[in-house]
Amino acid sequence: MTTHARFTIDADVTPRFTACYLRVAGDECAFIEAHTVHALPRLMAALDAQGKRPEQVRYVIVTHAHLDHAAGASALMAACPNATLLAHPRAARHLVDPGKLVASATAVYGAERFAALYGTISPIAPDRVKAMEDGSSVELGGAKLTFLHTSGHANHHFAVDDPTIDTVFTGDTFGLVYPALQHHGRFAIPSTSPTNFDAEEARKSIDRVAHLRRAAVCPTHFDAWTDVDVIAQQLRRFIDRAEQWVDEAAGSDDTAEAIEKRLRGAWTDAIHAEAPHLGKDDLALLALDIELNAQGLAFVAAARRAKKHAPSS
């Protein structure tokens, strides 16, 4: 009888912040998420701990092309010679040719900081990459993995439904659920980081995952959670607020800097409303997410405002 199991790999420098998952199905394995090149030793150690060899890795799966999920994909593929990379069609092309990803991130961070954060991102041979359409499936050791396009956080995102182990690997589409913040009830927050956040699509994606009725969701940030409906409801409340903030910002004449500042405050106030028990240290853990979430919503508001004022042809 085939043994099926999943294992959480703590991939980040910050403990229990970013996960990769090792899926074992008898003699075959898959990694879900690759994080950065710096995580490669942890991923290989997790494989070895289960008595598996790199040659037994059949798939490397990335839920989307954001660098904290996919920057390490080329290094992981090099370490696993028989693996095929599975990605959303809009993400796959950037993993085959990562030039635009590298250039845009280097422009933000600078070459030295980019290398420190993400290492080297190399092209992956096209014949080792498979683009997964919505609803398509692959087989892993007798298990069926189905790929569900879940935009909202990013338009090149999918979740991976794995009914054999009653689990959905949700990437960022089912929010961020940091273990360090769960000390007084569940706390989950959506990621609205630049540049593709869409509130309506985010709600559809949350509902799509929740309606699978799997026992557990496994977000990349972080680990497995079983109170799926509780998480979904909290995420919807945040997204409803975020949609209202974007509407207000798009209708204002404020500067981009003023809008971002106001959105940072709105996120902080909303977090306090949802989880009044969270203290200064907790908010410090969320500082980057608050910043990125504010930037993402400001980007959407600015795009909407520009479209409204664009001259008609």
Q: Where are the domains of the chain?
A: 4-231, 234-309
Q: Name the packing angle between helices 287-309 and 228-250 (round to 10°).
A: 40
Nearest CA to 64 out of 159, 197, 129, 135 is that of 159
pLDDT at 115: 87
What's the pLDDT score for residue 184?
A: 87
The first and second tokens of residue 233, run together, are 């409801």
Low pLDDT (below 50) residues in the chain: none
- The reported pLDDT for the residue numbered 207 is 98
**Superfamily for domain range 4-231:** Ribonuclease Z/Hydroxyacylglutathione hydrolase-like (3.60.15.10)
Q: Dihedral through CA 278, CA 282, CA 287, CA 293, nearest 10?
A: -50
| Close Cβ partners of 13 (under 8 Å, ≥ 6 residues apart) | 38
Q: What angle do CA 89, 174, 272 make, to 5 degrees?
A: 140
Q: Residue 6 pairs with which residues in a beta bridge? A: 23
Question: For the segment 201-240, what is each residue's pLDDT rounded down to a tens digit?
Answer: 999 999 999 999 999 999 999 999 999 999 999 999 999 9
